[in-house]
C-alpha cells in the first residue's frame, strides 16, 4: 500500500474535489437567490430610510401645525380681551349718559334753542331789502 496510516483523518483527493465541485454547484445554484436576497436587503434598507425620513418630516409638520395652532389661540385670546375691553368702555359710556341724563337733556335743549334763534336771525337778515346809502340816510323816504 502506498498510503501511510498516519493520515487517516485527511480526506482523499477525490473526496476533496467532489466536495469542491459540490460547493461550486451550490454557489451557482444559490447565486441568483443570494443576489435577490441582497437586492431585497438593499430595498428594505432604502424603504426603512425613506420611512424614517417621512416620519421626520411628519414630526416637523406636526410641530409646525401645533405652533400655528398655539399662535391662533393666542391671537383669539387677545381678540376676546380687546372685545371685552370695548364692551366695558361702551357700558361705562352708556351708564354715564344715563346717570347724567338731566344735564344731557338740558344741554340738548339749550343747543336746539340756540340753533333756532340763529336760524331765525339769519332768515330775518336775508329777508330785508338792501338799501342804498342815501335811502339809509333819509330813513327810506327817498
Segment 14-72, tens digit of pLDDT: 656 766 677 777 777 666 767 777 777 777 777 777 777 787 888 888 888 888 888 88
Q: Is the dihedral of CA 78, 83, 89, 92 positive or negative?
A: negative
Ranges of each domain in the chain:
13-80
Give the per-residue pLDDT at 73: 85
> Would you say 97 and 104 are in contact if contact means Cβ atoms under 8 Å apart?
yes
pLDDT band at 11 (very low <50, low <70, confident <90, very high): low
Burial pattern 28-56, b for ≥16 Cβ within 10 A else e, equals eeeeeeeeeeeeeeeeeeeeeeeeeeeee
Amino acid at each position: 500500500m502506498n498510503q501511510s496510516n498516519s493520515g487517516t483523518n485527511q480526506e482523499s483527493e477525490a473526496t476533496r474535489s467532489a466536495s469542491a465541485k459540490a460547493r461550486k454547484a451550490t454557489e451557482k445554484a444559490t447565486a441568483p437567490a443570494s443576489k435577490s436576497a441582497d437586492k431585497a436587503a438593499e430595498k428594505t434598507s432604502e424603504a426603512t430610510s425613506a420611512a424614517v425620513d417621512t416620519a421626520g418630516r411628519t414630526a416637523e409638520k406636526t410641530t409646525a401645525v401645533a405652533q400655528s395652532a398655539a399662535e391662533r389661540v393666542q391671537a383669539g385670546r387677545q381678540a376676546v380681551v380687546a372685545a371685552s375691553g370695548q364692551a366695558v368702555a361702551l357700558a361705562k359710556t352708556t351708564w354715564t349718559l344715563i346717570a347724567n341724563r338731566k344735564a344731557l337733556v338740558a344741554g340738548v335743549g339749550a343747543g336746539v334753542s340756540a340753533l333756532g334763534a340763529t336760524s331765525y336771525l339769519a332768515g330775518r337778515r336775508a329777508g330785508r331789502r338792501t338799501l342804498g346809502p342815501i335811502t339809509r340816510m333819509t330813513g327810506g323816504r327817498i
